[in-house]
């Protein structure tokens, strides 16, 4: 039966949702505190808490000592009322995490996908292992979000193409939903890192920002008005293809690692730059950056900053974001020192002059972003069905 504006049922749903959001962000809370924050009377807030407790969404969470009289009972969102899963799929590893409805990650596992030819079975196996580690039944999951390096079609949710994961193609999403029997979302990995940065990192409470990912691959996540900008085909953020003066344009866009900006800041390019400045490591670009910082090789750091600034400036003159966050292996390794130098370089060539910061997301940013996206879907479902 459709709801009509102003009906008691609708008003109860609105109040329940507001209370649950407050308990997540500010809880645990007493009945009186919840009433004060929502503007509801003690009687109404008490009825609300009783209703949510009956539905298993709210649980007692201790007591608040008072000056006189008995201690006031505290209430919080029941962590076990629902769970979600997030995954990061890479060519050489699959990381899966399970989180409760409050966002607390209760299990995280990594598996080797080398011998798993079928992506559907591989994801299913990883999710089952993560659930087993968390002591959670698969049936308790409300949503799964998977981060990949591929381009995802916003209209269908399918992976349009992925150079690193050739087995991921149209049809994978349907197979996952059928096997798991759950809502499944596939999202670009850097887009998920942007969600994590907004929820937990340098872009917290920032509505317009970009995250520049530099490392094994290059990517850009764009948040405009608090929403991800994916583009018509899902190709927004493929910054490796950005034309760069002095770098050749690709002759075949199906060839990986051939974009102009990729040639400027890709792994091979940075290894060559490091060698030219006397920095030598054979365990990845992050190690090169950390070694240069540790030894005070500012010539290498300055040239690296100048190269990154080309991408930041190009994004800034088009989008004019408040902030650009450096992430990926290079951004994380470079830290505040690299970010400050990139900001200085951008200011010399870009009239909009955005702030540049390094990522502040702890742990795996793609996995954490996948959890954020899954929680948004799950909470919308669980918190909207309280009466």
Q: What is the pLDDT of residue 345?
A: 97
The predicted-structure confidence for 122-142, as pLDDT tens digits, reads as follows 999 999 999 999 999 999 999
Could you report the per-residue pLDDT of 265-306, keeping only the tens digit for each? 999 999 999 999 999 888 889 999 999 999 999 999 999 999
Q: Could you tell me how far CA 164 lies from the centroid of its own chain?
A: 20
State pLDDT tens for residues 35-63. 889 888 888 888 889 889 998 999 988 88
pTM score, two decimals?
Answer: 0.92
Q: What does the pLDDT read at residue 115?
A: 64
Closest to 57 in 3D by CA, of 79, 74, 33: 79
pLDDT band at 99 (very low <50, low <70, confident <90, very high): very high
Q: Is 113 helix (H, G, I), strand (E, B) or coil?
A: coil
Residue 69 in this model has a pLDDT that exceeds 70: no
Does 1 have pLDDT greater than 50?
no
Range from 28-37, 66-75, 374-383 carrying the lowest mean pLDDT? 66-75
DSSP-assigned beta bridge partners for residue 76: 59
Alpha-helical runs (H) found in 117-259? 119-134, 172-180, 189-200
pLDDT band at 387 (very low <50, low <70, confident <90, very high): low
CA distance 103 to 85: 10
How sure is the predictor about 386, in pLDDT bands with cuts at 50, 70 and 90? low
Residue pair 113/93 in contact by the 8 Å Cβ criterion: yes
Report which of 253, 266, 281 is spatially closest to residue 214, judged by C-alpha positions.
266
Strands (E), the chain: 29-30, 58-64, 72-77, 83-89, 94-100, 105-111, 141-148, 151-152, 159-161, 184-188, 209-214, 218-224, 227-228, 323-327, 355-358
Predicted pLDDT at 72: 82
What is the distance of C-alpha 4 from the center of its chain? 36
Q: 16 is written with which tokens?
A: 């329940």
- Cβ atoms of 293 and 335 within 8 Å: the answer is yes
Residue 28: strand, helix, or coil? coil
Q: Which of 87, 187, 184 is nearest to 143 (CA)?
A: 184
Listed in sequence order, the residues at least 6 apart from 19 whose beta carbon sits closer than 8 Å to its beta carbon are 34, 38, 45, 48, 49, 52
Least confident among 85-99, 167-181, 333-347, 351-365: 167-181
Task: Output the average pLDDT for the chain.
Answer: 90
3-state helix, strand, coil in the chain (%, to 5): 45, 20, 35
Query: What are residue 356's DSSP bridge partners?
Result: 324
140 CB burial (10 A radius; 0-12, 13-18, 19+): middle
At residue 162, the pLDDT reads 82
Query: Reduced to 3 states, what is the DSSP secondary structure of residue 144?
Result: strand
Count the Cβ atoms, other than its own, within 10 Å of residue 191: 25
Residue 61 pLDDT: 84
How many CA atoms lie less than 13 Å away from 125 in the CB half-sphere?
Answer: 15
Rounded to whole angstroms, the Cα distance separating 13 from 10 reads 5
Q: Which residue has the higher pLDDT, 50 or 360?
A: 360
The per-residue DSSP string of 234-290 comes to S-TT-GGG---TTSPPPS-TTSTT-SHHHHHHSHHHHHHHHHHTT---SS-HHHHHH
- For residue range 200-258, list pLDDT tens digits in order: 999 998 999 999 999 878 999 999 999 999 999 999 999 999 999 888 888 777 776 77
Is a pLDDT exceeding 80 seen at residue 67? no
For residue 136, what pLDDT is reported?
96
């Amino acid at each position: 039966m459709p709801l009509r504006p102003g009906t008691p049922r609708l008003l109860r749903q609105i109040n329940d949702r507001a209370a649950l959001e407050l308990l997540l962000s500010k809880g645990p809370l007493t009945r009186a505190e919840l009433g004060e924050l929502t503007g509801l009377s003690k009687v109404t807030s008490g009825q609300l808490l009783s209703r949510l407790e009956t539905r298993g969404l709210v649980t007692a969470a201790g007591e608040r000592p008072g000056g006189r009289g008995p201690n006031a009972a505290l209430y919080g969102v029941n962590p076990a009322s629902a769970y979600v899963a997030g995954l990061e799929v890479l060519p050489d590893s699959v990381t899966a995490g399970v989180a409760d409805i409050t966002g607390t990650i209760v299990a995280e596992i990594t598996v080797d996908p080398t011998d798993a030819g079928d992506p559907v079975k591989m994801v299913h196996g990883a999710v089952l292992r993560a659930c087993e580690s968390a002591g959670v039944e698969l049936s308790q999951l409300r949503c799964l979000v998977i981060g990949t390096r591929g381009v995802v079609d916003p209209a269908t949710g399918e992976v349009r193409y992925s150079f690193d994961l050739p087995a991921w193609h149209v049809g994978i999403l349907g197979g996952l939903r059928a096997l798991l029997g759950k809502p499944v979302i596939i999202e670009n990995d850097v887009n998920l890192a942007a969600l994590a940065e907004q929820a937990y990192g340098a872009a917290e409470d920032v509505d317009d920002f970009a995250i520049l990912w530099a490392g094994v691959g290059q990517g850009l996540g764009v948040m405009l008005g608090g929403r991800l900008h994916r583009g018509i085909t899902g190709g927004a953020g493929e910054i490796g293809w950005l034309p760069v003066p002095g770098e050749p344009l690709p002759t075949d866009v199906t060839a990986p690692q051939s974009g102009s900006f990729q040639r400027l800041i890709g792994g091979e390019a940075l290894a060559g730059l490091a060698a030219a400045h006397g920095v030598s490591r054979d365990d990845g670009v992050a190690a090169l950056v950390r070694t240069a910082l540790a030894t005070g090789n500012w010539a290498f750091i300055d040239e690296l900053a100048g190269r990154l600034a080309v991408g930041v400036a190009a994004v800034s003159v088009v989008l004019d974001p408040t902030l650009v966050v450096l992430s990926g292996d290079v951004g994380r390794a470079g830290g505040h020192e690299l970010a400050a130098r990139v900001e200085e370089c951008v200011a010399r060539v870009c009239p909009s002059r955005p702030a540049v910061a390094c990522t502040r997301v702890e742990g795996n940013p793609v996995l954490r972003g996948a959890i954020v996206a899954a929680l948004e879907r799950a909470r919308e479902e669980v918190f909207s069905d309280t009466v």
